[in-house]
Chains A and B, each alone.
Chain A
Amino acid sequence: MKLWRLRRANGEPATATPPTVSRAAPKQVLRPVSPVFIWATLAGGLALDLLPWGRTPLVPDFLALALVFWNIHQPRRVGMGASFLFGLLIDVHDGALFGEHALAYTLLSYGAIALHRRILWFPVLSQSLYVLPLLLVAQLVSAAVRLWVGGASADWWVGLIQSGIGALLWPVVTWVLFAPQRRPISRDETRPL
């Protein structure tokens, strides 16, 4: 952390993601992320959420996971505005209150952006411990809004399990969404790095 503050004070332009070298893969410099890939994966998360899951329990919120990932790794490209708009899409699809998921995803995004410098210092498995409360907060906000408006549900706790499964999927999500940035630049086997 101190190192970064120092470099900024020296006048280096602040990059989008401070630690291009993450603890999880300490000896690798990541390639720059492609904006097309970011938005394609967010659309993919949305598509997975739009699949006709019905009342199948234990299906995590893929879009929320993708949003958390990009908010942590690219907070200057994917912010709360994107989360808000994706939330509105989910609201319309689910026939929920207009703005319910928008509020939940906005708070999720804020949490992720506020924590992103801290989270990146941990290995991936510990990162899921930070992701779990973020997902939980999103679910609880959604539930609180419904209770406030006068809804009731017997199986609201399913949301908590879904968050748990989402957090368990975090290493997988990280691996998949980081894959294009971890590609070697050239296929040279004798590279020093």
Chain B
Amino acid sequence: MEYGPPPLFNQGVSARARLAFFSFLATLLIVIDARVNALDTIRVGVGVMLYPLQRALLWPRDAIVRASRYAATVASLTNENEQLRRDSVERAALLLKDEELKAENERLRRLQSVRERANVKTQLVQVLYEPRDRFSHKLVIDRGSSDGVRAGNPVVDDRGVVGQVTRVFPFVSEVTVLTERDQSIPAQIVRNGLRCVAFGGAEAGTLELRFLAANADVASGDVVVTSGLDGLYPPGIPVGTVARVERDVKDQFARVIVTPAGNINANGMLVVMQLTAPPLPPPPREDAATERPARRSPRR
């Protein structure tokens, strides 16, 4: 402000002081949130407060969707029904075979005394909305910590991995899709069992297998599935197919671009998976700090 008020009329703290205060506070929050992740309780509190409003505002869209579905013609519904029935019969055959294979697998594993595979608990969820944020691609689903969803749970659709739960509120959770730059999935190539890690690609909507040697045995068309090495993703879920491989003499690593198998722009039903018994051994205890004084004490 170019001219302040006369001292007779108190207008409170000056605009510049307020600006300094609030922008400092906001910057502090940003830094804490970006580096320490210590603000999740506040965020969850605000999220719970906002939840009724969010749900109420989804209603208009849902009403439109319902109305348009109601107006669908009989012909298209009959077609869809038939298609679904055909699919289910096809899958029934696969499922029967699956049961048999599972039993056989278990028998073989017991014979070889290999640890059994972890059980996977699944939960059907609905995508509520896609946040408007242009800097990250996320989906918000309608189940949260009160339904047993945990941060880190993989989210899949009928074709493959879609992403991973990255933040959990009591009634909703945020899923970061697998093509995000910071996401990574331990994967392997089905054809030869080559292990790799799939990261979100530089191009939007693609994945990249990083740190594969320039002469690694990868070709376009290879199917990439999860390897399950991290104890979060169950093994064998489709991640994508290799779209192209760029080998440059100058580079140590091949550049492998993968198109995701799951539909990352999904707007319907997804499945949250949860390994009930993580197959990983427990992390090593950090008892170095507790041991040292114990060793010293007898000397005294």
Which chain B positions have C-beta within 8 A of A54? 129-130, 132
Closest 7 CB pairs of A and B: A99-B29, A103-B26, A52-B129, A98-B33, A54-B130, A99-B30, A151-B135
27 residue pairs of the A-B complex, CB under 8 angstroms, read A11-B8, A46-B53, A51-B61, A54-B130, A80-B19, A81-B18, A87-B26, A88-B29, A88-B46, A89-B50, A92-B50, A94-B133, A95-B131, A95-B140, A96-B135, A96-B136, A97-B30, A98-B29, A98-B32, A98-B33, A102-B25, A107-B23, A110-B15, A145-B30, A152-B135, A153-B135, A159-B134
- How many pairs of A and B residues are in contact by the CB < 8 Å rule? 131
Mask of B159-174 contacts with A, CB within 8 angstroms, 1/0: 0000000010000001
Give the CA-CA distance A153 to B135 in the complex, in Å. Answer: 5
Given contact pairs A52-B57, A143-B135, A145-B30, enumerate 5 new A-B contacts (beta carbons under 8 Å): A92-B43, A93-B54, A94-B131, A96-B133, A152-B181
Choice from B16, B19, B138 contacting A95 with Cβ under 8 Å: B138
Between A47, A95, A152, A159, the greatest number of chain B beta carbons within 10 A of the residue's beta carbon is seen for: A95
Choice from A13, A87, A106, A149 contacting B19 with Cβ under 8 Å: A106
Choice from B26, B47, B58, B134 contacting A92 with Cβ under 8 Å: B47
Indicate if the CB atoms of B33 and A9 lie closer than 8 Å: no
Indicate if the CB atoms of A14 and B26 lie closer than 8 Å: no
Total number of B residues with any Cβ neighbor in A under 8 Å: 49
Q: Give chain A's interface residues, CB within 8 Å of chain B.
A: 5, 8-9, 11, 13-14, 46-47, 49-55, 59, 76, 79-81, 83-84, 87-89, 92-100, 102-103, 106-107, 110, 113-114, 143, 145-146, 149, 151-156, 158-159
